[in-house]
Amino acid sequence: MIDFIGVEKNFADKTILNRISFRINSGERVGLVGPNGAGKSTIFNLITGELTPDRGEVVIPKRMRIGYLKQQLLASDLDCPLLDYTADAVSAIADISSEIEEIESALECYPAESEERQLALNRLGVLQTEFEHLGGYRLRPEAEAALCSLGFKSTDMGRPMNDFSGGWQMRATLARTLIADPDILLLDEPSNYLDVPAVEWLCKFLRSYKGTIVLISHDRFMLDKLTSVTLELSDGQITRYNGSYTVYREEREARKVALDAAKKNIEKRKKDLERNIERFRYKSSKASQAQSWQKQLDKIADVVTISDDLSYRGAIRFPEPPPCGAEAARFEHVTFGYDPAKPVLRDVSLNINHGEKIAFIGYNGMGKTTLLKLLAGVLKPQEGRVVPGHNVIIGYQAQEFGELLPGEMSVFDVVRAACGRDFPVASLPNVLGSFGFSGSDQSKLCKVLSGGEKIRLCFARIFVNPPNLLVLDEPTTHLDISAREMLQNMVKSYKGTVCFVSHDIEFIRGTAELIFTVTPSGVRKYFGNYDYYTEKLAQENAAAAPVTAAEQPRGGASDARNRRRERAQERARLAPLRRSLERRIAVAEAEIDKKEARKKELLELLSGGGNVDYAGCNRELGWLDHEIEELSAEWESAATELMELQEKTAEQER
């Protein structure tokens, strides 16, 4: 399908691709991974023909249609209405449509039985067949469906492209690329600017795609969901691994261990030969043997190359969060809108306890970032109030902060500017060192920092005055995989409270212990991690689904063997639902036990006298009662559904 044969590509005096050779077979789903700047986009541009190799060749079968998701629109597209831009996914369709109109107009001028009319009709038939084959009749409805799945509203369809932000323009370009249904699909960071539901939809859409996919992404969830082959590009060379991203990491580590062992064996063999040669070099009886050893030594080459470790290797240490009360913050009937007549959030009440790690998810435009800004105190509610807990210190990182770092300021100066008036400047080098900036790195200008360095600088700026409540808005944006994994480990091990918004599902899965969904109807809390949340959604959708054929009454003609097989199939179909309900019950029971234990602690504290924050304790008791009530309702709902499922299974077995 796609062959790179001895391809070399240089930019100025730097070699990006060093005589690489590899093949991508028809129908394969390939993840192209490697550090930023390794040449992944260069490979895409060589496939599309936008670049030509300096040496070697790229071979692609003729008539293969290539779809390439680019990160920027042409100026000529900005005035085009959204739906028209998206539906114009196959350029040949417009030419065919124009020719069809010309022929249909000309047919009126030809005599009924003339040869010209017959030729025109034949050509019209060919064009209409080609028009249908390219998707001329389906593109517009598919474009509208894809746009809606990616978060656009029906009222957006006629708006010009320049009405939308860059992120929304990229969503439209993604939809346009997907509905073209090309033979080869090149996707460069397709999950950028997508919220979690849109990422889930994209993965589902691409799993049904029949062609060849080559995917550049830092999104580990998407790579694992979609790819069956991984190509690693590093130091100008490319290595093929059969498997998804997780399999690739495991195989790469095993290969690295084997190469380390091989290199050590070579070094040991060289030292043994050198010692023998030195020992017997001047003994006449061993002279011929020494010459033989020298020849063996000359033939040994350091052919084993150890690839760089993909994981971040710097030392990152979050300082201990200062002590605070059991309640980190609470929202009391909060309403807010940038236009007072159109609230983004309406009557939101929620409680955040100390030590919780919470992900806020939902479609873009639902108010996730607004909610974080209200929590951080950047915005003030129009109605209700946001109440921080006792001695809570907030560290807030806005989505755009890494992009707004002053390019001409040094790392040291950025962090010094964030210090409090009484902060001892002499201790700044130690603070920066704990975030991986030591020695000369502290004098680096912001404009030369990598994505991982910028995120570390942002956190150093926050933690120079240690918070106990971290509020993070899209902290993984523009980070490569190793930097995302570094950040994930930092957040996971942090002992304070963390509230964040992220479109990186793997990051959410690795850090969040609670999920808050932000929807038009309000904010809903899920007492579990992301996997629990998706299971609960699947179960709710299954409960709302129509009755399946397997659940319809059976006729008397089926024999006993067929009935046994149907019962076994039905048991297998219901098994995941049963396990999900059992997990929901177990999670609810564990959370209820935890809340009851905390409630007991507070009651003992109140009855013991002494210096007690009675108002704070009573507020927390109120919230605990509220959450225990919610958890009990969740337990009762799951237990009832499990009992009904067991009764249904027992009835079918009879």
**Mean pLDDT for the chain overall:** 82
At 545-597, the pLDDT tens digits run: 554 444 444 444 445 556 666 666 666 666 667 777 777 788 888 888 888 88
pLDDT for 350: 94
336 to 183, 299, 342, 524: CA distances (angstroms): 47, 75, 9, 17
Taking each helix axis from N to C end, the angle separating 245-280 and 287-299, rounded to the nearest 10 degrees, works out to 160
Give the mean pLDDT of 505-522. 92
Give the residue among 117, 96, 99 at the shortest CA–CA distance from 108. Answer: 117
Alpha helices in 227-366 (DSSP H): 245-280, 287-299
d(CA 172, CA 190): 11
Mean pLDDT within 110-120: 79
CA angle 72, 76, 82 (to 5 degrees): 75
| Strand 327-336, strand 345-353: pairing | antiparallel
Instruction: Quote the CA–CA distance of 540 and 535 in Å, as a whole number.
Output: 9
For residue 401, the model assigns a pLDDT of 62
CA distance 42 to 578: 49
* % of the chain with per-residue pLDDT over 90: 27
Question: Nearest CA to 328 among 620, 115, 546, 39?
Answer: 620
Lookup: tokens for 570: 């039905």
**Interval 516-527: pLDDT, tens:** 999 888 899 998
Task: Output the pLDDT for position 500.
Answer: 95
DSSP helix/strand/coil, 448: helix
Which pLDDT does position 573 carry in this prediction? 64
Residue 163 pLDDT greater than 80, yes or no: yes
Residue 305, token pair as written in the block: 């190359």
Q: What are 578's two structure tokens?
A: 């049963």
φ, ψ (nearest 5 deg) of residue 220: -65, -35
Query: Which H helix or E strand runs over 319?
Result: none
> Is the model's pLDDT at 498 over the cut of 80?
yes
pLDDT at res. 564: 60
Burial class (CB in 10 A: 0-12, 13-18, 19+), 639: middle
Calpha distance 507→477 (Å, rounded): 11
State the residue for tokens 């969904």. 517
pLDDT, mean of residues 165-192: 85
Is it the case that residue 302 has pLDDT exceeding 70? no
Q: How far apart are CA 599 and CA 274, in angstroms?
A: 73
Residue with tokens 């971040």: 312
522-526 and 237-242 beta bridge pairing? unpaired
What tokens appear for 534 in the block? 């998706």
Best CA proximity match to 388, nearest among 467, 329, 325: 329
**Greatest mean pLDDT range, 56-60, 78-82, 436-440, 608-612:** 56-60
Any bridge partners for residue 188, and if so which? 216
Q: From residue 381, give the alpha-carbon distance in Å to each of 130, 326, 390, 619.
A: 57, 24, 20, 21
Tell me which of 115-124, 142-151, 214-223, 364-373 is least confident. 115-124
Check residue 549 and give its pLDDT: 45
**How confident is the model at residue 428, as a pLDDT?**
87
Give me the pLDDT at residue 131, please. 74
Whole-angstrom Cα distance, residue 531 to residue 523?
19
Extract the tokens encoding 325. 């009360």
Q: Cβ of 626: how many Cβ atoms within 10 Å? A: 13
Q: In what order do the strands lie in the sheet with 66-69?
A: 66-69, 184-188, 212-216, 29-33, 229-234, 237-242
pLDDT surpassing 80 at residue 483 = no
Percent helix, strand, coil in the chain, to 5, is: 50, 20, 30
